[in-house]
Structure 1
Amino acid sequence: MDEVEVVVAHSERATLRVGDVFLKVDPDQARIDVEVRAMSLAPVPTPAVLWHKPPVLAVAALPGTTLGSLGGPSTGSRAAWAAAGAAIRKLHDAPLPPWPGRGKGLDELAAELDDECELLVTNGVLPSAVVTRNRQVAEAALRPWTPAFTHGDLQIAHVFVEGDEVTGIIDWSEAGQGDALYDLATFTLGHEEHLDDVIAGYGTDIDLEVIHAWWSLRSLLAVRWLIEHGFDPSAPGCEIDVLRSRM
């Protein structure tokens, strides 16, 4: 009998694996609806939807393995990272999905970032110098961008490869119209050594200052949430290391 594996779980949602089936439990019906629609429209391999009975979505497992995880070593070759870059470019070049992204506007995002930076320092989570420096770096991300079809949470653990080929991308609940460079930054967060490989596969010039800015911005916004939900952003290679590397 297959065992139940808890892939990820916190107060907002959980993902379980039973054999070759992933069960996503999410009380936010809008997120599940976006996930199903995005997978049907994305021009890249995605998991097959087996059934959907709110609040549970069942999808088939993908062949292959992930390229790695934040804070862990990459198990993929340089060619696999480049193939992932090419797949991401294919997504970004696709027609826009007919719904906006779930992200915040620039003014709201800047206000949230300022509040979060203040809390990180006040609560002694990070030294003031680290927060101040990364807030300065993050400023470059707060600019207008041309919307693209984005995944919205393109962590390295969401991209599966087999050999040097991408076999699928999972977890589309944050997909929508967004900043293409945010996807690229999320994907390479904590794995700066593979940024050149991803860009080579992506096939166009990238504003590296904005990539660095999104690394800082995403990490600053994530640290406190991760701690409050039982994760460790101070583990080697994770968000706090990313923030310290900007010093």
Structure 2
Amino acid sequence: MMLSFFDQFMSPTQLGLPLILLALLLPWILLSTPTKQWMNNRMTFFQTWLMLNFTKQLFSPFNTYGQKWTFILTSLLMFLMTLNLMGLLPHTFTPTTQLSMNLALATPLWFSTVLLGMRNQPTASLGHLLPEGTPALLIPPLIMIETVSLIIRPLALGVRLTANLTAGHLLIQLISTATLLLSSMMPTVALLTMTILLLLTLLEVAVAMIQAYVFVLLLSLYLQENI
């Protein structure tokens, strides 16, 4: 019986228990912690360098109140990046290909930024719904359009992350299946498709890191509008 290409996005089970919790907890174990030594290993050095540059670039335009979100968004970046990269390993499951999980991450954080703006600067937050100098006849439809665009922000965050990772995994599986089928019939063409598969895998490593960064970057932009 041939399996569907979308079976790889189903949560694996063992003895009837879903293993998605293990997939969510394992990345935190793999993250190394800095030590008090003068020199750390390469993994710890790269992780520290990445977090320092990320926080410096992302939170430098923020005021003191906005910089309190540094720990939350930096942890979210490392969490998403580790999940995305682990999903490229064989016989693994990528939780970030599930739209429900991405929405569960995006919606509370987006809603927190909206509540923060409503509490600290309600006039400026409500002013985003109506551009300055709008004609009177366009005020009701513009308010409706801006409200809808505000509400669908978490949906856009979740769909963007899910669609990019799902498309990459499907392409890898399609090309790898074609490589296996062509290896016995046309070895030369199979070698070409294998080269394409290796290049696509490198591209997916970059996409896994970039999509985690874009997810957190957009959340930081939503936060910047409300502080």
- After TM superposition, the score normalised by the length of structure 1 is 0.28
Greater fraction strand: 1
Q: Which has the higher contact order (CA 8 A, sep 6+)?
A: 2
Q: Which has the larger radius of gyration?
A: 2
- After TM superposition, the score normalised by the length of structure 2 is 0.30
